[in-house]
Amino acid sequence: MRIPLNFEELSEADMLAESERFYHTAARRRSVRAFSNRPVDRRVIENAIRAAGSAPSGANKQPWHFAVIESPEVKAQVRHAAEQEEHEFYHRRAPQAWLDDLKVFDTDEHKPFLETAPYLIAVFLQRNTVDETGKTHKNYYMPESVGIATGMLISALHFSGLATLTHTPSPMKFLSEICQRPANEKAYMLIVAGYPEEGVTVPDITRKSLSEIMSCF
Ligand SMILES: Cc1cc2nc3c(=O)[nH]c(=O)nc-3n(C[C@H](O)[C@H](O)[C@H](O)COP(=O)(O)O)c2cc1C
């Protein structure tokens, strides 16, 4: 069955204005590593996940799951497990070059924001799809699909007025256990969302210019 495309055409002027508006808002997004414990309406998180769930995916398999963590007890478990892995990373696993690249961000194994932020969203990648009868079906382009969905999630949260951190405690297997996810799912990323801590600062980093990231033929 086919249905009409729900397409809204803009005038050329509106198209340019919208693209500029989107660019300027997107460019203000920064990763934040200190959050306020101020509550956030859960419906904002649900809408952001709905937006993420509208992402394109290989053969429309939608190979993602988003576990929303707001219970203080579960956040404490995540913090404890993440800090253990991060301690290993910073003190044993990370090569010096990686640690040197991270210096500007002032990060270490301590992650208090995992308890202060109102929401942690654990993103899972589904290696395959299991139907009601228990039969498994192949998924396609899972990392690409989940990467796009996660980008849309981060953008939706940012456009809704929230600060985020893209966090990748490595390895992240503990998230599967804490969130009780099935064996066909792999923890992909942890998105921290909430209001930034008052007066928070961020590293003074630069972004590549258009000419550095774009070529024309
Ligand atoms: C895949 C990925 C993994 C990241 N992992 C971490 C992380 O574990 N901890 C952290 O503090 N920041 C992490 N970041 C945030 C980056 O450091 C940040 O996006 C980058 O420095 C650019 O800064 P901006 O997000 O403020 O533009 C990660 C970002 C990405 C895209």
117 and 193 in contact (C-beta within 8 Å)? Answer: yes
Interatomic CA distance for residues 191 and 42, integer angstroms: 15
Find the length of the chain.
Answer: 217
Strands 64-69 and 163-167: unpaired
Query: Ligand 1 centroid to 105 CA: how many Å?
Result: 9
| pTM for the model | 0.97
CB distance 23 to ligand 1 below 6 Å: no
Interatomic CA distance for residues 155 and 163, integer angstroms: 10
The CATH number of 58-198 is 3.40.109.10
Interatomic CA distance for residues 48 and 32, integer angstroms: 18
Interatomic CA distance for residues 122 and 210, integer angstroms: 32
What pLDDT does 102 receive?
93
Q: Both tokens of residue 201?
A: 């600062």
What pLDDT does 170 receive?
87
* Closest approach atom of ligand 1 to CA 170: 8
User: What's the sign of the alpha-carbon dihedral 109, 114, 117, 122?
Assistant: positive
Interatomic CA distance for residues 135 and 147, integer angstroms: 26
Local confidence pLDDT in tens for the 217 residues of the chain = 999 999 999 999 999 999 999 999 999 999 999 999 999 999 999 999 999 999 999 999 999 999 999 999 999 999 999 999 999 999 999 999 999 999 999 899 999 999 999 999 999 999 999 889 989 999 999 999 999 999 999 999 999 999 999 999 989 999 999 999 999 999 999 999 999 999 999 999 999 999 999 999 9
Instruction: Output the residue whose Cα is nearest ligand 1's atom 26.
Output: 30
Query: Ligand 1 centroid to 170 CA: how many Å?
Result: 13
Helix, coil or strand: residue 189: strand
CB distance 30 to ligand 1 below 6 Å: yes
Q: CA 137 → CA 53, 123, 129, distances in Å?
A: 19, 20, 5
The ranges assigned to domains in the chain are: 58-198
CB distance 200 to ligand 1 below 6 Å: no
